[in-house]
Amino acid sequence: MNEEERVGKEVARLLNHSIGEINQDTLYRLQAARRAAMKNYQLEEKIIHVGAGMAGQNGLDSFFSHTGKLVLPVMVLFVLMATLYWKISYEVDEKAAIDTMILADDLPVDVYLDDEFDIWLESTR
């Protein structure tokens, strides 16, 4: 038996000591107050002391509530990095494809009709 249990039993013993002297009206009010308190009572999560000044909570609810706070930012970061990687690799592939078509003299007709292509050709000379 630890210290908390011992103190609790001693307090209960002292409270029960003079229970015979309480009038019936007071007993009814105490019972009603106890019922009201028990109606609003909710179990607390049990704190587990894991040593070295650290404490953990019992149950998976705390695990998911803490990891849930991290999942969304990590997923957003992952999506942004994947988008950036795809955009960079797509631009490089597009430029390489255009260079290959220029070297192979296999450009579509639309490119020759594009004014920006003419400007680019003149700027490279």
pLDDT value, residue 65: 61
pLDDT one-digit tens code per residue, 30-85: 888 888 888 877 766 666 655 655 545 555 555 556 666 778 788 889 999 999 88
Distance between CA atoms of residues 33 and 28, nearest Å: 9
Q: Are residues 77 and 34 in the same domain?
A: no
Q: Are residues 76 and 124 in the same domain?
A: yes
pTM score over 0.85: no
On whether residue 32 sits in a domain, the answer given is: yes
Torsion of Cα atoms, 6 then 8 then 13 then 14, to 10° = 110
Total tally of structural domains belonging to the chain: 2
Q: Are residues 81 and 36 in the same domain?
A: no
One-letter amino acid for residue 115 of the chain: D
pLDDT value, residue 62: 56
| Percent of the chain at pLDDT exceeding 90 | 6
pLDDT value, residue 88: 81
Q: Are residues 33 and 93 in the same domain?
A: no
On whether residue 23 sits in a domain, the answer given is: yes
pLDDT value, residue 48: 60
Show the DSSP H helices in 1-125 as ranges.
3-17, 24-39, 60-104, 109-113, 115-123
Q: Are residues 79 and 118 in the same domain?
A: yes
The range of the structural domain enclosing residue 18 comes to 1-42
pLDDT at 4 over 80: yes
**Banded pLDDT at 95 (limits 50, 70, 90):** confident
On whether residue 65 sits in a domain, the answer given is: yes
